[in-house]
């Protein structure tokens, strides 16, 4: 099964809109939303069928047994994350607790224990016609981890049967979750936008992606909002020997379609046509390998 990952670096470039259209165009029977901080893909995928849910555990967090606590304040003294809240009942703020376990270790009366902490929920949707869709939702206050992204991908691969292509909506940013999205992927499509911040974020992502050895292509969304910058991006890609797979215009029609819960491949519009062309270019490169 070949894997296509869609990344953007910066948020708001249209990554999810593009990913949903590409999933529809390619009829990929396996897909995943790795943007677990703010998963959006499901809003336009309309998968009918069962949802399998599984708790995702992050690092265990500290918990103070009020019955045993003697208010000595040792935990308050050594905690570097301001997670110990003093008062009539000493307790731990699970949002601040990083799970280091030092308070548990030094509590003179053994009143502190590390408890399993559910950081989110893994979800697997199976639609008999469309295939499987793997995602997760983090509980508030928890950051995306490489492990959770890896679990979302593993879940997808395990459930994917005979799918020949998997499309993954990646994590934004440049940190560990992005690296976890990239491992094992055959092709990365970077979606960028023509702005200073878009270009600077594209550079950072390119740097990261190249080190991990996947094939990469770039396309520009909302390209006509600043044609000058779009050309700069195209030139940059040429310089860096990165295939440039196309440009998508800003399209108010697109917003209307997406707001109906559809993808841009479901109804005709200028942006949808441009995405189709980007998709075909990306597939050509993928199939040549």
| Stretch of 10-18, 45-53, 234-242, 280-288 lying at the interface with other proteins (CB under 8 A) | 10-18
Q: Which of residues 261-280 bind other proteins (CB under 8 A)?
A: 261
| Stretch of 3-11, 121-129, 233-241, 268-276 lying at the interface with other proteins (CB under 8 A) | 3-11
Q: What span, in angstroms and rounded, lies between the C-alpha atoms of 166 and 1?
A: 7
One symbol per residue from 192 to 211: x for binding other proteins (CB under 8 A), - otherwise; what is it? -xxxxxx-xx--x------x
Cβ atoms 52, 116 nearer than 8 A:
no
| Stretch of 7-15, 231-239, 263-271, 273-281 lying at the interface with other proteins (CB under 8 A) | 7-15
Residue 120 interacting with other proteins (CB under 8 A): no
| Stretch of 65-73, 94-102, 122-130, 162-170 lying at the interface with other proteins (CB under 8 A) | 94-102
Residue 118 interacting with other proteins (CB under 8 A): no
Number of chain residues interacting with other proteins (CB under 8 A): 67
Element (H, E) at 208: helix 196-211
At CA 239, angle to CA 234 and CA 244, rounded to 5? Answer: 40
Any idea how long the chain is?
289
Residue 38 interacting with other proteins (CB under 8 A): yes
Cβ atoms 182, 208 nearer than 8 A:
yes
Element (H, E) at 30: strand 30-33
Q: List CB contacts of 49: < 8 A, sequence separation 6 or more.
A: 125, 126, 127, 128
Task: Supply 127's token pair.
Answer: 């639609």
Cβ atoms 62, 112 nearer than 8 A:
yes
Residue 1 interacting with other proteins (CB under 8 A): no
Please identify which residue in 27, 141, 161, 280 interacts with other proteins, judged by CB under 8 A: 141
Please identify which residue in 37, 169, 215, 247 interacts with other proteins, judged by CB under 8 A: 37
Characterize the bridge pairing of strands 50-57 and 131-138.
Answer: unpaired
Please identify which residue in 126, 225, 277, 281 interacts with other proteins, judged by CB under 8 A: 225
Task: Supply 3's token pair.
Answer: 């894997």
Q: List CB contacts of 250: < 8 A, sequence separation 6 or more.
A: 222, 223, 224, 225, 271
Q: Which of residues 45-64 bind other proteins (CB under 8 A)?
A: 58-60
Rounded to 10°, the helix 252-259/270-288 angle is 80
Residue 94 interacting with other proteins (CB under 8 A): no
In the complex, minimum distance from the CB of residue 286 to other proteins, in angstroms, rounded to a whole number: 20
Residues contributing to the site for other proteins (CB under 8 A): 9-13, 16-17, 37-38, 40, 43-44, 58-60, 78, 80-81, 95-96, 98-102, 105-106, 138, 140-148, 150, 172-176, 179-180, 184, 193-198, 200-201, 204, 211-213, 225-226, 229, 252, 255-256, 258-259, 261
């Amino acid at each position: 099964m070949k894997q296509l990952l869609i990344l953007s670096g910066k948020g708001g470039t249209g990554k999810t809109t593009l990913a949903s259209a590409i999933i529809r165009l390619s009829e990929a029977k396996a897909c995943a939303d790795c943007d677990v901080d703010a998963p959006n893909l499901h809003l336009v995928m309309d998968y009918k069928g069962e949802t399998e849910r599984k708790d995702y555990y992050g690092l265990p967090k500290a918990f103070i047994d009020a019955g045993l606590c003697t208010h000595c304040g040792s935990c308050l003294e050594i905690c570097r994350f301001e997670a110990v809240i003093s008062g009539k009942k000493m307790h731990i703020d699970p949002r601040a607790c990083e799970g280091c376990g030092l308070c548990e270790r030094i509590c003179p009366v053994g009143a502190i224990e590390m408890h399993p902490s559910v950081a989110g929920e893994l979800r697997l949707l199976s639609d008999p016609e469309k295939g499987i869709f793997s995602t997760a939702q983090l509980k508030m206050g928890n950051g995306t981890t490489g492990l959770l992204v890896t679990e979302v991908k593993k879940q997808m691969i395990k459930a994917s049967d005979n799918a020949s292509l998997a499309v993954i909506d990646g994590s934004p940013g440049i940190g560990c979750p992005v690296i976890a999205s990239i491992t094992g992927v055959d092709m990365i499509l970077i979606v960028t936008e023509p702005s200073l911040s878009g270009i600077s974020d594209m550079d950072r992502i390119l740097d990261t992606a190249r080190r991990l050895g996947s094939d990469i292509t770039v396309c520009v969304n909302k390209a006509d909002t600043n044609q000058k910058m779009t050309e700069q991006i195209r030139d940059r890609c040429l310089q860096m020997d990165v295939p440039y797979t196309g440009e998508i215009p800003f399209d108010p029609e697109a917003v209307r379609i997406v707001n109906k819960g559809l993808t841009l491949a479901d109804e005709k519009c200028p942006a949808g046509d441009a995405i189709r062309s980007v998709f075909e270019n990306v597939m050509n490169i993928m199939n040549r390998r």
